[in-house]
Amino acid sequence: MIPISKPIIGKEEKEAVLTVLDSGIIAAGKKVKEFEAEFAKFTGVKHAIAVSNGTCSLHTALFMNNIGKGNRVITTPFTFIATGNSVLHTGAEPVFADINEEDFNISPEAIEKELKKDIFRKIKAIMVVHLFGQACDMDKINALAKKYGLIVIEDAAQAHGAKYKDKKAGNLGDAGSFSMYATKNMTTAEGGMVTTNSDKADEIARSFINHGSEKIYFHTRIGYNYRTTDIEAAIGLEQLKKLDSFNAKRRENAEKLKTMLKAYDWIKTPGENKDNFHIYHQFTIKVKNGKRDELLKSLNDSGVGAKIFYPLSLHQQPFYKETLKRKYSLPVSEKTATEVISLPVGPSLTDADFKTIEEAFIKFAKTV
Ligand SMILES: *Cc1c(COP(=O)(O)O)cnc(C)c1O
């Protein structure tokens, strides 16, 4: 089966890990510092804080911006559960605004509709998700944040190296959050990174991820152990060097898939908005003939590891239905969840893989 994603680990990563293991310092040490500095430089931000994963990274990004109990955070329903859960972890409540049909990202118009309804001014932040590797419409979103006095947090877990105009994801709001999980565009197995240009937020974050200590054994706020290790940082430093070439290969693969799928008028391939540099964390098509589930099964049977991201929107998740008092109707997100399939697009795809994918579609097309 052609996997939907596959980490690419070379001899550089392996050697870097062995060097750390032999050094005697395996928890957070100088490699973590180096990884943070390089990631900050890459993203174009003043500070990057390495953490254990992309979920605690979101939690930290919210906490360092003073989001907590009694607050509400507008976000997208069409995302991985961690986006919504991190808001719940702070004690705040997620408020969902519907997405755009074209690019799967949160709709600025839907955000403003929610803001107009917020007469008690409980909404304190917008958490955008640059879904599948394409940044949100940040000019419009930042303008709304300014108008209503809100913090903007970017869930950039799928957007390492993605650009909006001349800036990179993670440098488009008040804080950014990345995941380094095994399936992401770069990986440290598990891992995360918080980004910000604020010195104060950086200081709070560093304390928050280390039990709320300002100096060792003096604790001034609530905190967690969200630290990472020099082992992961050593992998991350090598992955970061390769990230641009990984992303270039993904873009090339995406173009090949688009050309291949032009033949089918019941498939809508993903587009790239004019202000964007899309890094195709996923290549997600919409199946417009009502046969999404049949296509998925057929592709899987033909050895193509296609997958659905995401079968349910967050407001449709059993836990959220139980927890949130508000009942939502978010038609675009709900419909999208019934139409999408993501195809393998990662840098390791071979010519033989493309052939397998092409033949799988030809075979299925004969049945529709
Ligand atoms: C992967 C992901 C996360 C969570 O990251 P983890 O490292 O798995 O905790 C959060 N948001 C989005 C959109 C993701 O894709």
Q: How far is the CA of 74 from the centre of ligand 1 (A)?
A: 17
- Range 205-209 contact pairs with CB under 8 angstroms and sequence separation of 24 or more: 205/47, 205/49, 205/60, 205/61, 205/63, 205/64, 206/49, 208/60, 208/63, 208/64, 209/49, 209/51, 209/56, 209/60
Q: How far is the CA of 10 from the centre of ligand 1 (A)?
A: 24
Q: Is 105 in the pocket of ligand 1 (CB under 6 A)?
A: no
φ, ψ at 153 (rounded to 5°):
-115, 130
pLDDT tens for each residue of the chain, 368 residues long: 999 999 999 999 999 999 999 999 999 999 999 999 999 999 999 999 999 999 999 999 999 999 999 999 999 999 999 999 999 999 999 999 999 999 999 999 999 999 999 999 999 999 999 999 999 999 999 999 999 999 999 999 999 999 999 999 999 999 999 999 999 999 999 999 999 999 999 999 999 999 999 888 999 999 999 999 999 999 999 999 999 999 999 999 999 999 999 999 999 999 999 999 999 999 999 999 999 999 999 999 999 999 999 999 999 999 999 999 899 999 999 999 999 999 999 999 999 999 999 999 999 999 98
Give the position, in ligand 1's atom list, of the atom nearest the Cα of 86: 10
Non-local (6+) Cβ contacts of 266 within 8 A are 287, 288, 289, 291, 368
Q: What is the pTM of this model?
A: 0.98
Nearest CA to ligand 1 atom 6: 54
Q: Identify whether 184 is a catalytic site residue.
A: yes
DSSP state letters, 211-259:
TTEEETTEE-S---B----HHHHHHHHHHHHHHHHHHHHHHHHHHHHHH
Choose one of 181, 187, 193 to mutate for the ligand 1 pocket test, by most ligand atoms within 8 angstroms of C-beta: 181
Q: Is 82 in the pocket of ligand 1 (CB under 6 A)?
A: yes
In degrees, rounded to 5, the angle at the alpha carbon of residue 240 between the alpha carbons of residues 170 and 205 is 45
Q: Is 177 in the pocket of ligand 1 (CB under 6 A)?
A: no
Residue of 184, 249, 286, 307 with catalytic role: 184
Choose one of 5, 78, 79, 83 to mutate for the ligand 1 pocket test, by most ligand atoms within 8 angstroms of C-beta: 83
Report how far apart, in Å, the C-alpha atoms of 352 and of each of 2, 304, 357 are: 10, 12, 9
Q: H helices of 48-184, where?
A: 54-63, 81-89, 108-117, 138-148
Residue whose entry in the numeric block shows the structure tokens 């449709």: 316
Q: How far is the CA of 181 from the centre of ligand 1 (A)?
A: 7
Report the distance separating Cα 51 and Cα 344, nearest Å. Answer: 28
Decide if domain 11-238 falls under CATH 3.40.640.10. Answer: yes
Give the position, in ligand 1's atom list, of the atom nearest the Cα of 190: 7
The DSSP bridge pattern shows strands 151-155 and 123-129 to be: parallel
Report how far apart, in Å, the C-alpha atoms of 231 and of each of 38, 160, 225, 234 are: 16, 20, 17, 5
Nearest CA to ligand 1 atom 5: 54
What Rg, from alpha-carbon coordinates, does the chain have? 21
Outline which parts of the chain fall under CATH 3.40.640.10.
Answer: 11-238
Give kind and range of the element (H or E) at residue 196: strand 192-196
Residues 283-317 pLDDT 10s: 999 999 999 999 999 999 999 999 999 999 999 99
Q: Is 83 in the pocket of ligand 1 (CB under 6 A)?
A: yes
243-365 topology per CATH: Aspartate Aminotransferase, domain 1 (3.90.1150)
Q: Which two tokens stand for residue 153?
A: 């947090």
Q: Is 179 in the pocket of ligand 1 (CB under 6 A)?
A: yes
Decide if 269 contacts 325 (C-beta within 8 A). no
Q: How far is the CA of 81 from the centre of ligand 1 (A)?
A: 8
Q: Is 155 in the pocket of ligand 1 (CB under 6 A)?
A: yes
Q: Bridge-partner residues for 340, per DSSP?
A: 286
Q: Which two tokens stand for residue 2?
A: 């052609």
Report the distance separating Cα 177 and Cα 160, nearest Å. Answer: 10
Outline which parts of the chain fall under CATH 3.90.1150.10.
Answer: 243-365
Q: Which two tokens stand for residue 126?
A: 């917008």
Residues 242-271 pLDDT 10s: 999 999 999 999 999 999 999 999 999 999
